[in-house]
Amino acid sequence: MHVRDARPDDAESIASIARASWHAAYGEFLSDAAIDATVDEWYAPGTLRRHIGAAGAFLVAEADADESNDLGEADSSDEADTDGATDAGTLLGFAHVRYAPEVGNVVLRRIYVHPDAWGKGAGSALLGAVARRFVDDGERLSAVVFSENEVGLSFYERHGFETIGEQTTTFGGEAHDERMVAADLADLAGLGAIEDDER
């Protein structure tokens, strides 16, 4: 696995990861219709391409050729001898981040990993790459997470994020509590025992 900058032609794969992750993480408290409508809007390929080309960073964790195929993707017949190896270039997750002067720190707008790759280091690798990219631009990395999102809260707590505030948002016509969490960029910079690809 390695982390690199997202490219415009990654948009469809990013949207697919977002849809699978949203259903897996939020399906207990958001309706399928609300999830699909939001993913259709927020992760439309054209919208993603604009975000990829905008200020900040949009990073992806990408499988190397020797990694096992855990994403449910069928190997083609000419790859049958790879013993289930994932094609190089299969995206495992993504992170979208920017420096927000109005907040005074670096904001992690999105970080999602395909559910089939949860627990295998892609999220940690993305966090580490984000921290190394922005450690000179600010002291802290902040994010907002649904209070009902046990998967997300566990991920942030495991990586040293602390709750710094709470708010309520309306989503799918219903009120949901959110937590604002933050961690020191310097503490996160050592995460991910892989090399970033700065291409």
Q: Is residue 79 part of a domain?
A: no
Residue 77 domain-assigned (yes or no): no
pTM, full prediction: 0.84
CATH of the domain at 183: 3.40.630.30
pLDDT at 115 over 90: yes
Select from 16, 17, 38, 20 the least CA-distant residue to 176.
38
Which pLDDT tens digit goes with each residue over 175-184? 999 999 999 9
Residue 30 lies in a domain: yes
Structural domain harbouring 183:
2-66+87-193
In a domain, 6, yes or no: yes
Q: Is residue 185 part of a domain?
A: yes
What are the pLDDT digits (tens) for 1-52?
899 999 999 999 999 999 999 999 999 999 999 999 999 999 999 999 999 9
CA distances from 21 to 6, 55, 182 (A): 18, 25, 22
pLDDT (mean) for 48-74: 76
